[in-house]
Structures are given as structure tokens and as C-alpha cells.
Chain A
Amino acid sequence: MNAPMNFEEGKPAGQVRERLVVIGNGMAGCRAVEEILARDPGRFDVTIFGAEPRVNYNRIMLSPVLAGEKTFDEIVINTREWYDDNGITLVSGDKVESIDREHKRVVAASGRIEPYDKLLIATGSDPFIIPVPGKDLDGVVTFRDLDDVDKMLAAAEAGNAKGGGNAVVIGGGLLGLEAAHGLNLRGMNVTVIHLMPTLMERQLDEAAGWLLKTELERRGQTILTGANTKEIIGKDGKVAGVRLEDGTEIPADIVVMAVGIRPATGLAREAGLEVERGIMVDDHMVTSDPAILSVGECVQHRGMCYGLVAPLWDMCRALADFVTESPSGYEGSVTSTKLKVSGIDLFSAGDFSGGEGCEDIVMRDASRGVYKRVIVKDSKVLGAVLYGDTADGSWYFDLMKKGEDVSDIREALIFGQAFASGGALADPNAAVAALSDDAEICGCNGVSKGQVVSCINGGAHSLDAVRSTCKASASCGSCTGLVESLLALTLGGEVESGPKTMCKCTSFTHGDVRKLIVEKGLKEIPQVMQELHWTTPDGCASCRPALNYYLLCAWPGEYEDDQKSRFVNERMHANIQKDGTYSVVPRMWGGLTSPKELRAIADVVEKFNAPMVKVTGGQRLDIFGIKKEDLPAVWADLNAAGMVSGHAYGKSLRTVKTCVGSEWCRFGTQDSTGLGVQIERMTWGSWMPHKFKIAVSGCPRNCAEATIKDFGVVCVDSGYELHIAGNGGIKVRATDLLCKVETEEEALDMCAAFIQFYREDAYYLERTAPWVERVGLQYVKDALAEEGAVERYAARFHYSQQFMQDDPWARRAAGEHEKLHQHLAEVRPFPASQMENA
């Protein structure tokens, strides 16, 4: 430091000190002064204006004050003594109203005029208030200063006095969640309303956001994502509740608006300084007026505005270097985020939006509630999201800031610094080799390294074989990587690849996933991905639809169907054709129709100019060439004639094909048409692993081709032969005879039981034919032959059908998911001649 030694006496006589006026007594303004004092204490006469009537405090610690973990005194950065000791004039509770650049002076609300040689604007930011009715009601607060905290504490106290108050926090970002946490600890019932589907979506991906949401809900908060505030309801001028776009009303004694911040640029703008989103500054924090500097959340530097504290410190250093004539220059900041909610470890830094050439490395540990994701591009760390274990956050952040080449530690990167920096241990196989024989590999089943190795030496040469013999990695699967390393170490190149995993996102097979969903009671897609250690943040086009089906099958009536995980046909309830239009097939029970239905179909064909209508192989009519925006209207017309969706587009029950049977046919032995209609009424609407076709033939001549269907009934004089697992598709397969029954009732029961067993046992996208080939006919027969099995499976099927037999067309025609069908808008460019004038 080359600071003058004679601070007490100031500069040599005759030399007047420069006057530095600071607008803003916040973290940035005071830090800038501290930095300057550290470099050259005698240089300026300093005056600081603060709008708040108090000394400088650490604004980011307001959250712990609200939560009761700290007092105000503990978060004061600079006490009165500091101002006095350094000869700083503090003008608190007096807001600067204008800057007079011509005369180099500022004017405060009290009328006080203060001349300056250098002016520092550190006005920070203002909370953004969403423009909804009721925003000005008493009881609507922001979360910016100590006054806001006091209002929240008062509301909590009043609420506790009457046995529990209600708080609504609008905004599920960093600040909103900290406010919600504090209010929750203060005894309020807290509801968080967040517009986006993921909490803290700027910092977290879907997987980490889900973990956070689950944890906050566990702590008693209500978290509403994808919720849009319509208005704040008032009563006698005071806030009473919040109404959402969808009509939901939430009672509230206090509403905290925490949707974001905006740089406070008013003063600078009025003074004619260059302002865009923030006050424009150069690398030395100088504005468009050389005598005026600016730091903090109010500035825009190289196109960036910051809302975190770390960049402030960098800016203040650059500023102090500049005004003390040893300019260094600020080059922008790379930021990271931590949430200050006790007991929740969360870290986020850099860019995690993915993209060309980016590679996601994901590690999940369900037993500890850990999710880690590191994004690597061109051998450099681009970003990181950590939940549950943030110990390595600063290490990743450091690698990221320095742009270090991580190709040497790539394999071990996700395990953290201790592991990856271990030199030779950076090879995960080497690290596993270094473990002692009694080191625990599988925590769930208590299997040591020695046990796994002896199991491998005993003949278990694949992951699956290890799982079935010594149970290592057979439960939660988080030690799969370790077991794979042990296989590689023990066998060299002779590891047998196990059965195919579900997709590249997981090391589990379809069978494992199905089993674990039920065993562990997993009920949401993000939960499955976390608990079963998915290696991608949000799955892929193969696993999402499969998980959606497995959850729908496991938890009927409970699981909410995820439209985003549905293939287009199931999302649109129609079949997409090569030109992007759809075909529509209404259900015709057992292939029967009526003049009314035929008329309605004919009218639809004409009204919507359908270019083709065709009789399908499943005994119904297919209307082609319908545009997606016309689908709801088409369905409304068909519904009006009593027709419902034929599910010709789904992994679901398609048709029940029948012949005319004993009612008309001279060979017919039973009422095959009537039984077909009954079966279709019982089974329609059910989602399946794959499409499912049924037929009922009235005699062994088999006109309904029942012996190439998933479930076929062939009527004979003495009853009904029930056939399964036929297929008329790519690989033709005739059915196997399952059993013979005597009555229609038994046939219906067996049909329901077989379908349910298939629904619960087969893999997604596995038709009955390959399924039975895989598991064996005897396995199916045995399962259904157990005492009471038919009744149990049939009962589960009927239970599930309660929720499935709800015509999706009728819901769409009534306006459900209307956005899926409508264009956003239509662009009609001006003709070229007008364009030139436009």
C-alpha cells in the first residue's frame, strides 16, 4: 500500500481533498468506500446518502433475520463508529432526489445540497411488482429491506395470536423461497406461487427443482408451480387472498412479492446519463459522465446486470483501483448461487442449458437425496447443479472460472475433488482396486468388496448375475458403477453384457424399473429418475413414455398422466399421417353401427373436407386428412351422435372384432357379436404396454380372425375357447390356447384378468406375442391358475377402468388442452410494395 502515512492530518496543507459523494448506503456503496479507504485513506471527503434510516447492513442476511437465526445487530457491516472513525458523513433517511451535473451537486429530499468532485451512484435495485389488481393493498410487501422484514414479522405475530396466519409468496426464486422459509419458521401457513414449472428455474434444472419442491412440501409449505397470479383480493383495503388464473383462491394475511428485481436507474436516467437496462459503465465503473461512477445492481457492464453479491465485490475493487490511479479494470463475473435455507444444500453455477457438444455427467444417490450434474464442453466445465451434497461446488466453480482442461479427470469428475484429484486414482477402476476387501460396496444390502469379488469368481460374470447372486446394486442401484468396476477388474475383458437396459438413461432393465416403482412406491417421473439414479437430467423420448405408462398402471386414479411424455398420437388422440394431418376413428362397438352414426360420420367428412374415408381392418371407419386445429370440432360432432374415441392411435385397447354369430349365421354356435360388444364395453379406454386387439368368432370357421389377436374368443357348442398372444403384424403368430370356459361371464372374467396380468408384467412397447415368447405360455397359465388369481387380476382391472373410461374426445371438445390444437397466431406478411413503406 502506498497510502500516505499522515492520515490524521490529512493531505499536506493547501491541498483541498476531493469530495466524494455516494448515493446509496447499501452493500455496494459502502464496500466501494472501504476499498478506496484501504488504498488511499486521505484522498476524499466522503458523504454517503442512504434512503433507509439506519447504518449499512448485509442485505443478503435479511433471510436469516426473518428466519430468526440472526438479529439485526449481527448483520450490521459498518457501525456508527466506522463512519465517525473514517470521517465519513452519513446522511441517512434522506433520499437524493436529483443530480445537477452542470454544477456538480446533488439535491436531497430535505433540501440539502451537496457538491461533489466525484459522484458514486450505488442505488442498487428495486423489487419488481407484477401489475395485477390489488398490488397496492395494505399487506402486500416486497423482500428488500429491514422494513419489509418487520412487516412480515408483525404479520406472523398477528397470525400466531389468532392461531395461525396465512402467507402467500409470489415468486419461487431464490428470494421468494428464503422469504417462504422464514415465514414458515415463524409459524405461518405458507403458499408459494411460481409461474414456471420448476422452482428457481434460472439456477436449477427439473431434477433438482423437483427435489427442492419435495423437501419444502415435506416441511409444510404448499408449492404451486405453473401458477399464474390473476389478482390480489382485498377486504377493507387490506389484503385477504390471492386469486390465480385458474380460479383458485388462497387466503392470505400477507403477500410477499418476490418475482425479481430491476436496476434502480431513475436518478441516473433523469440526470441524462446513458442507461439501458442498467446504468452503462465501462471497465472502471465510469458512467457516460467522467465525474460519475456507479457500482452494484444498478449498473450494466458489458451487457450484463447482476443480482448477486460476488460481482459487487469485483466491481468495487476495480472502482477503487481506478480512482486511486492504479486502474485494473473489471471484466465481468462468473456467478454461482446457494440457497440460504437451513438444511437444504443447493449449488448452481454457470450454464446448464445443454446444447451442441455439451455433455451431461449426472450422479444421483437416492438414499442421501443427492443429485449432481456437471456440464462439460470441449473438456471444460461449463456449469454445475448440485443438490443434497454441495461440498464440491466451489471446486467445480473454480474449474469453471479457470477454464481448466478436465479431460484427464473426466471419468472421476462427478465423484468430486477428493476422488478426481487423487492422481493415479483418477481412473475409477484403480480407485476401486485400492479399496480394501471389507469395504462396503452396496449399502442397501450390506455387501462388501470381497463378497462381490468372490461372487464374480464364482461365475457371476455380468451385472445382472451379480445382482441376482449377492444382491449388490440390486436395490437402489447407486453402486452400479462400483460393481461394474469390480467386474472389469476381476474379469478383464470378459464381462458379459447383461440384458438390455431400458434406455441409455439408466442401468436398469424395464423389469427392474417396473418392480422398483411398485416396491418403493414411486409416484412421479422425476421421483423415479432420482430414486433409480437416472444418468440424464430429464430422460429421453424412450424412457419418458415408458415411465408414464408404468406409473399409470401402478397407481390408477392417483398418478396424473403426463402429456409431455406421450407420443404425438396419444397426446392428440388421433393418428398423425405423413402430411402432418390426422385421421379420426370413432369407436363402433363390436363393429356395429347405425344410421345415426353413419350420418354423423358422413356429415363430418363433408363439413371438414376430409379427402378420404376408409373401412379399417378393425371393423370401423377412418376419416383422413383432419387438421389438428379442427380435431376438437370433429370430436364434438361425433360425440353429439353418441360416439366416443376409438383409441385407434394408442398403446391401448383398439377394437373388438366380431362375426355375426348365432343371431344370424347358420353356423354360429354362440352370440359372438353380443359377447364382443360386452368385451369392448368392459375394456375400452385402458392403456396397455402396446396396442391390444381382441376378436370374437362365433364358430371355429373363425371369420373374425380371433387366432391372430392379442386375445381371441372362438365360440364352440360347449362354450368358449380363449386364445392369447396372436399377432397379424410384421411377424405373424397364431395364438396359444389359454383355456376353455363354459359361460360368457367366465370368458369376460378371464379376459379382464389376462389383460391386467399383461398390463402389469409386460415391458412397455412389448406386444402380447413377444411377451409370451419371452416369459413362456406356462408362466402366464400358472399366474392365472393360482387360487383366486383371476378374481384378483380382474378386480384390479375393473378398479383401474373406473378412471380410464372417460372419453378423451369429449374432454378435448370441451376445451381441455386447447393450446395443443390451436396455432399461436398467423403471420400475414405485407405485400412487397407495402413492405418498402412499412
Chain B
Amino acid sequence: MMIGNWLDIGPITQIEPGTARTLPVIGGEEIAVFHTMRNEFFAIVNTCPHKQGPLSQGIVHGDVVTCPLHNWNISLRSGKALGDDEGCVPTIPLKVDAGRIYLLRSAVIGGGDQAEAA
């Protein structure tokens, strides 16, 4: 399933719009892959910077997810907490090509955007 620098994680149809699904990484951080109502795809680490809530389970509106534990709003685009809250969750570079979703392999394994883009 690994080809080059991009990890093919399957067709876009496996994530319903307005929801997210999870991708556990053995020895690494679980990733949440979002499909927004505006048909964009994002991948971020599945952990709220506040109290580690599973962001994949939050309500998605626009390009924002509301954490299910304490309603922090997290930008899917930047990983940053919005409003008065402060914190940031790592993002994973994602691309969609011919109906399939690809994640940047080094970021998947390295736990997000700290990883060197290959």
C-alpha cells in the first residue's frame, strides 16, 4: 500500500461528507481524515490540543471541527484552535488524485507537520 512518498489510503467514497474516519498508526499518533460538506479533504492528528479529545468524532462545519469533549473549534486547514482558545494539532499533507486519498508518508509516520516534507 506504500508507493513512493505518498501513502494511498483508499477511495474518497469511504468517508461520508461531513464526517471523519480514523487511521491508527502503530507506534505513532492516530490520524483523523475529514471529508467536509464542501468536498474538501483534510488529515490531522486525532487529538484535541485541549484535553486530547478524539476530533474525528466532532461535528464538522465549513473547514472547522468542534471537539466532542469540550467544544473547542479546530481549523482543519491549519490545525489551530480558533476563537479565544490556544493550541495547535499537527496536520498531515493530503492530496486527492483520481478519486483516491493520499497522505504524505513521512508526516504519517512522523506524527504530522513537524515531519520533513519528502
A interface, CB within 8 angstroms of B: 195-198, 201, 205-206, 226, 228, 352-356, 536-541, 544-545, 563-569, 571-572, 576, 578-580, 628, 819-820, 822-829, 838
Contacts and interface: CB of A to CB of B under 8 A. Distances in A.
A353 B39 CA distance: 9
Contacts of A826: 23-26
B26 A827 contact: yes
B53 A580 contact: yes
A544 B61 CA distance: 9
Q: Interface on chain A toward B: helix, strand, loop, or mixed SS?
A: loop
A545 B59 contact: yes
Interface residues of B, number: 48
Given A823-B22, A824-B10, A825-B9, A354 B38 contact: yes
18 contacts: A197-B37, A198-B17, A198-B38, A206-B37, A354-B38, A354-B63, A355-B75, A563-B19, A567-B59, A572-B57, A578-B53, A819-B21, A824-B22, A824-B23, A824-B33, A827-B26, A827-B31, A829-B27
B26 A565 contact: no
Nearest to A128: B98
B60 A564 contact: yes
Contacts of B15: 819, 824
Nearest to B101: A824
Contacts of A354: 38, 62-63
Contact of A195 (B2, B13, B54): B13
A502 to B, nearest CB: 14
B71 A541 contact: yes
B1 interface: yes
A564 B18 contact: yes
Contacts of A201: 38-39
Nearest to B23: A824
B52 interface: yes
A198 B53 CA distance: 30
A564 B51 CA distance: 23
Contacts of B63: 353-355
Contact of B23 (A228, A580, A827, A829): A827
A544 B52 contact: no
A353 to B, nearest CB: 6
Given A353-B38, A819-B21, A824 B14 contact: yes
B13 A568 contact: no
A628 B13 CA distance: 21
A824 B54 contact: no
Contact of A829 (B14, B25, B37, B62): B25
Interface of B: 1-2, 7, 9-10, 13-19, 21-28, 31, 33, 37-40, 51-54, 57-63, 66, 68-69, 71, 73, 75, 77-78, 80, 108-109
Contacts of B59: 541, 544-545, 564-568
Given A354-B38, A819-B14, A824 B9 contact: yes
Given A197-B17, A564-B19, A825-B9, A539 B54 contact: no
Contact of A353 (B2, B24, B33, B40): B40
A567 B67 CA distance: 10
B58 A825 contact: no
Nearest to B109: A829
Given A353-B63, A576-B57, A826-B23, 14 more contacts: A201-B39, A537-B62, A538-B38, A541-B59, A563-B18, A569-B68, A819-B21, A823-B21, A824-B23, A826-B25, A827-B26, A828-B26, A829-B109, A838-B2
Contact of B24 (A539, A540, A578, A827): A827
Contacts of B31: 827
Contact of B66 (A196, A352, A541, A569): A541
Given A206-B38, A824-B33, A825-B10, A538 B62 contact: yes
Contacts of A822: 21
B61 A578 contact: no
A823 B38 contact: no
Contacts of A829: 25-28, 109
Nearest to B32: A824
A628 B20 CA distance: 13
Nearest to A629: B22
A568 B57 CA distance: 6
A382 to B, nearest CB: 14
A829 B106 CA distance: 10
A576 B10 contact: no
Contact of B61 (A355, A539, A569, A828): A539
B116 to A, nearest CB: 14
Contacts of B7: 827
A197 B68 CA distance: 24
